[in-house]
Amino acid sequence: MKSWMLAVIVACNVQLVHKSSSSQINYHNIMFTALSSPSLRNLATYNGKMPLSTNCILSPYSEITKRLLIDSSVTCHYQNYAHMSFTILQNNTSLLKKSSFSEEAWQKTRVNPLLRYIRTLKWTPIPLGLGFALLAYQQFRHVKKREAAKLASTTNPSELIATDFYVNMYTMLPLRASSRMWGWLFQLELPQPIRTPLLNMFISKYDCNIKEAVVEDINQYKSLGDFFGRNLKKEARPIQGGRCLVSPSDGKILHFGTIENGLIEQVKGITYSLKSFLGLRSLNPEYFFPPQITDEKYEKGLLTNKDNALYHCVIYLAPGDYHKFHSPAEWTVRHRRHFHGELLSVCPGIVNWIAGLFNLNERVVYSGEWEHGFFSMTAVGATNVGSIKVYFDESLHTNRKKCKKGSCEEAHFNPPIKITEKGQPFGEFNLGSTIVLIFEAPKDITFNITAGQKVKYGELISFCNPHCVS
């Protein structure tokens, strides 16, 4: 066994018992009285065997104490007799119940600091919770290494997709309750003594740039909600001009491209249904697509111009990113559909692991039209991000206790909400999450982004026509 492992075991099992000098003197005075008692003298001979040595120093705390004392050149003979003497001492209420010392042995102990320290040690059991936590941590490391090796060796993404069993086990976790608890903590006012160090810890961990905020003094933010919902300076996020689409938020581009056959590509080789993601409704609030419609016909039914195509763009907001999202274009919002669902994590590792994750999670789909036809922006909930706030939609309440997963609520805006400029504030998350844009545009659209790229809100995503640069 390695030395560091032995040290950990000893540290987990040994508890220091501090004694004052006066208590030690009283302790040993009583021990000398005990050693001179008739009951111990009678132990001088036991069944005709050799007498007990008065040079024996024994501690009842542990066997390791006895061994260390033997290694410290303190002779100890016939430990079975010493154990019997200790038993008699325990039964005698007038004597101390710990151990017996001879005067000579006590003098050696008194002048030897190592022995004095050993006497203060006491064995205590390891809590079961600590043992299980250690096993869980070791298993987590093993699984992490195994999955990393699998990811590096495979060329087929479908081999990395979680089975239904793992997905069902994941969805059984109380993620909605934990997200509501986080929402409560999010708005809790931080006491002055811990406010600055706590926020500094978040800034350091998530690499937040507080210099971009209107209020740079972190002591002015009374809660985590105030900090993560901070307003930014206008010059920190210039909005791209021209007839183009801009990023609605800070974050990382997970995926973008053309929607084909009514399927959205989640990762390379893995897709999910556009029909399930948006729901069976067209721009006309009086008309529903029939449930038996195919994904391909559903896609074509959304297009207002048959010469156009549908595109998508997925942006992941990390916990350290600016948590508000803005309008990516000038458009008209006509309809809202709120899907009640899971609150699974939307970090890139989980997105690559669970197929159709965005169709499982709680999400709010706002749809309408822009200059080229159909346009929608979806805010997807995630673990600890059950609360989604949209400024013009006060009736929206996400992550409610009494709701049926898989159901949805709809609202039709009459009159419609007209967004007249790019970058107009739209809503906010409690913590990082995901924005999904699905929009109609000409087939000659050019994207000015790459997968994995970090973007800021207001930065260019695409020009709808290569000649529309201003």
Active-site amino acid positions: 250, 326, 433
- The DSSP bridge partners found for residue 265 are 271
Taking the alpha carbons at both ends of the chain, their separation in whole angstroms is 70
- Two tokens at 235? 């010059």
Identify the H or E element spanning 413.
Answer: strand 408-419
449 C-beta neighbours (distance < 10 Å), count: 16
8 A C-beta contact, residue 354 and residue 412: no
- Select from 225, 226, 219 the least CA-distant residue to 200: 219
Q: How far apart are CA 302 and CA 454, in angstroms?
A: 30
8 A C-beta contact, residue 464 and residue 331: no
- Two tokens at 182? 């986080």
89: three-class secondary structure by DSSP:
helix
8 A C-beta contact, residue 424 and residue 327: yes
22: three-class secondary structure by DSSP:
helix
- Select from 366, 324, 309, 328 the least CA-distant residue to 245: 328
74 C-beta neighbours (distance < 10 Å), count: 19
Residues 6+ apart with CB under 8 A from 341: 360, 361, 362, 363, 381, 405, 406
Q: How far apart are CA 45 and CA 243, in angstroms?
A: 106
Residues 6+ apart with CB under 8 A from 51: 44, 45
Q: How far apart are CA 249 and CA 427, in angstroms?
A: 10
Residues 6+ apart with CB under 8 A from 426: 248, 324, 325, 326, 327, 377, 390, 391, 419
Specify the pairing of strand 454-455 against strand 251-258: antiparallel
What are φ and ψ of residue 14, in 5° steps?
-105, 135
422 C-beta neighbours (distance < 10 Å), count: 22
182 C-beta neighbours (distance < 10 Å), count: 17
- Select from 396, 451, 461 the least CA-distant residue to 422: 461
Helix residue ranges, H only, 14-102: 21-35, 38-41, 63-71, 79-91
DSSP symbol at 307: T
Q: How far apart are CA 236 and CA 101, in angstroms?
A: 76
